[in-house]
Structure 1
Amino acid sequence: MKFNVLFVGSKFSNNTYLKDYILREINKKISHIDSMTFYLENDNSLFLHLERELSVDTKLLIITTKQNFSVVGKLLCTVTADNQILKENMLLPSQCTVFEDQTYLLNYNNSVINVLHVDELTEFPRLLLEDENSSATIHLFGEDKESAKALISPIAQTNEVKIDITDIVEGWLRIDVTSRKYGNITQFISSTKQLLSTKIIAASNIPAYIIEKMHYAQRKLTFSESCTGGLLAYMFTKESGASNMFDGSLVTYSNALKENWLAVEHATLEKHGAVSEQVVREMSDGALNVSYANYAVAISGVAGPTGGTEEKPVGTVYISVRSRDNEQTQKLSLYGDRRYIQEQSALYAIKMLLEIDKKLFFTN
């Protein structure tokens, strides 16, 4: 049965922070969303959309505003030949089976509909729909998509699970695993890890996984960022428990602060420029020394849309990852807008961090 999400109200398309918050709450209970649709208030085509949704077996989650909550209920009553009644100071379809403040559940034929209203600065109501599919997410490093399919598709068939492989950045694949009727996800993951022991991480959230691993090993991590402007630090500090392994980092956007805060040599900046292998290596070394951390990651690049040159076009990024006894530097040539280049840079840096200490990150 498909799981579809329908947003009714202009605020959900205009306020991306609210929309992202709602999706995070949904993802706590629902592993996979098949479709997501947005409608403005008073859109006459909404009724036809609801008719189509309820003509097939579906799980439909409708997110609406307080003002449109009863309007959506009225439309559902028209589609299902029902009428609204007052329950607990809410106008609800009379056939709704479960209801709480701001949320109710309605069964119609073989479809299940959960309507809830969400507004800014309010607590998210309880999600009444349940996810029946058994699923998991793992991450594979150091393989391309085609080789990954060839390696793990036979294991998936043996264990009757469906796999969906997505590129995160080059050399980093996300694999979403869904159980078929008699599928065994646990055995699939176990067999895959046996085959690719130094390349598989069986966790859905990689920054949270790194936090847990470093906390257990009593290790510390720091960053020195230029073109990503603190994005890498945000990816970790948004996760609970980050303070156990992250004391802080430096955003050194100007050359002056690269020199003063990270001890990057003035001569290195003059000779090679801020976007260079030499500078990014000195940035990671400086971050490691000033923080007393066990690992440091440094990023410097041209995120665009301006600032590129023939020698260093937009998308040129250098990353240095350093531990106390090892250092690796990578030059990237990335494509996309400014934000996507920054995001790819941060994700690639995370991949490099994992690979610099495989003994820590790829063992149970």
Structure 2
Amino acid sequence: MKTHLIFIGNKFTYNPPLKEYILRSLEADLAFIDMISFLKDGDTSLFLYLEEALNAANRVVIVTTKQNFSTIGKVICTATNDNQILRDGMLIPQKASLFEERSYLLEYNGSFVNVLQMDEGEKMPEILLHNSEIKAVAHIFEEERETLVNILTPIAQTYEVHFDFVQKVEGWLRLDIYSKKYGDITKFMEASKKLLPKKFIASSNIIEYVIDKLYHSGKKVSFAESCTGGLLAYYFTKQNGASKILEGSLVTYSNALKENWLAVDHTILEENGAVSAAVVEEMSDGALNVSDADYALAISGIAGDAGGTDEKPVGTVYIGVRSQTQHIEKHLHFFGDRNYVQHQSALMAIKMLLLLDKETFF
């Protein structure tokens, strides 16, 4: 049974932080959303669209505003031959089997429908529609997809689970594992880890995993960012516990600040340019020296959409990762718009950190 999410209201299109909060909450509870639709306020196709969704034998989540909440209830009642009644101050369909504040659930013609009312500045209401599948997430590094299919398929068959891959960046695959009632995800994960001991991480949130590993090993990290503009720091600071392991981040966008804040040698900047392996090596060294960190990650590149040259086209990025005993630098070329290049750069830096110290992170 597929899950269809329907946003009804202009604000869910034009207020990205609100939309992203709702999506994070739903994905944590429902695991996978197969389809997302957006309908504007006053959309004349609303009745036909909802009627079709209700008859599709799917799991449907409707997120709407206080302004539209009772109207959606009326439309659902018309489509299901029902009436609205007042329950705990809410007008909801009489056939609703469960209800909480700003949320109700009903079953109709094989479909399960959860209607949620959400506006700016509000806490997410209780999600009454829950995932029927058990799901787990793992991350696998430095393995080809085809090789992993051959390795993991026999294990999945043994423990009655199924899996799918999504590439985060080159050399980093996210593994989604699903199980019905009789599957054993735990044993699948244990067997997979034994076969891939320094390549397999079982965690739904890789940043939380890194934070936990650093905290329990008594280590800290710092960042020096240029083209990512603090995105790497944001990845960490949006997670609980970041203050335990993150010393800080220096966004040194100009050459002057690379020199003054990170002690990047002026001659190296002049001879190699800010986007170079030599410069990110010095940036990571500087970030380590000005902090009490055990690791430093540095990123410099040309995110675009302009500013590239024949020698260094848009999407050229250099990443340096350093510990107290070793350092590595990579020259990469990412494709996509400015924001996508920035996100790929930050994810690659995280991957490089994990692989720099496998004893700590694996």
TM bucket normalised to smaller: over 0.9
Q: How does 1:1-364 map to 2 (within 5 A)?
A: 1-362=1-362
How far apart, CA to CA, are the structure 2 residues paired with 1:28 and 1:306? 37
The structural deviation recorded for 1:110 is: 2.2
Q: Which amino acid aligns with 2:41?
A: E
* Residues 251-295 of structure 1 deviation map (CA, whole Å, 9 limit, x = unaligned): 100000000111100000000000001111000001111102100
The structural deviation recorded for 1:225 is: 0.4
Larger mean Cα displacement after TM superposition, 114-123 or 219-228? 114-123
Q: Which runs of 5+ in 2 are unaligned?
A: none
How far apart, CA to CA, are the structure 2 residues paired with 1:17 and 1:205? 20
Match of 1:36, SS state, is: strand
How far apart, CA to CA, are the structure 1 residues paired with 2:295 and 2:50? 52
| Paired residues of 1:96 and 1:106 also in contact (CA < 8 A) | yes
Q: Which amino acid aligns with 1:260?
A: N
The structural deviation recorded for 1:5 is: 0.9
The structural deviation recorded for 1:79 is: 1.1
Larger mean Cα displacement after TM superposition, 193-202 or 119-128? 119-128
Match of 1:68, SS state, is: helix
How far apart, CA to CA, are the structure 2 residues paired with 1:117 and 1:332? 44
Match of 1:126, SS state, is: coil
Q: Which runs of 5+ in 1 are unaligned?
A: none
* Residues 220-255 of structure 1 deviation map (CA, whole Å, 9 limit, x = unaligned): 100000000110011001000001111212110000
* Residues 205-232 of structure 1 deviation map (CA, whole Å, 9 limit, x = unaligned): 1111000000000001000000001100
* Residues 88-119 of structure 1 deviation map (CA, whole Å, 9 limit, x = unaligned): 22211111122222111112132211111100
Larger mean Cα displacement after TM superposition, 339-348 or 96-105? 96-105
The structural deviation recorded for 1:60 is: 1.0
Match of 2:132, SS state, is: coil
How far apart, CA to CA, are the structure 2 residues paired with 1:72 and 1:292? 55
* Residues 173-215 of structure 1 deviation map (CA, whole Å, 9 limit, x = unaligned): 0010000342111111111101001000000111110000000
The structural deviation recorded for 1:45 is: 2.0
Q: Which amino acid aligns with 2:245?
A: M
How far apart, CA to CA, are the structure 1 residues paired with 2:313 and 2:12? 36
Q: Which amino acid aligns with 1:106?
A: L
The structural deviation recorded for 1:146 is: 2.1
Q: Which amino acid aligns with 1:13?
A: T
Task: Report percent identity of matched pairs.
Answer: 55
How far apart, CA to CA, are the structure 2 residues paired with 1:274 and 1:44? 54
* Residues 36-65 of structure 1 deviation map (CA, whole Å, 9 limit, x = unaligned): 111112222222222222223221111000
Match of 1:319, SS state, is: strand
4+ residue stretches of structure 1 with deviation over 4 A? none
Q: Which amino acid aligns with 1:151?
A: I
Match of 2:106, SS state, is: strand
- TM-score, structure 1 as length reference: 0.97
The structural deviation recorded for 1:121 is: 1.1
Q: Which amino acid aligns with 1:180?
A: K
Alignment length, in residue pairs? 362
| Paired residues of 2:247 and 2:292 also in contact (CA < 8 A) | no
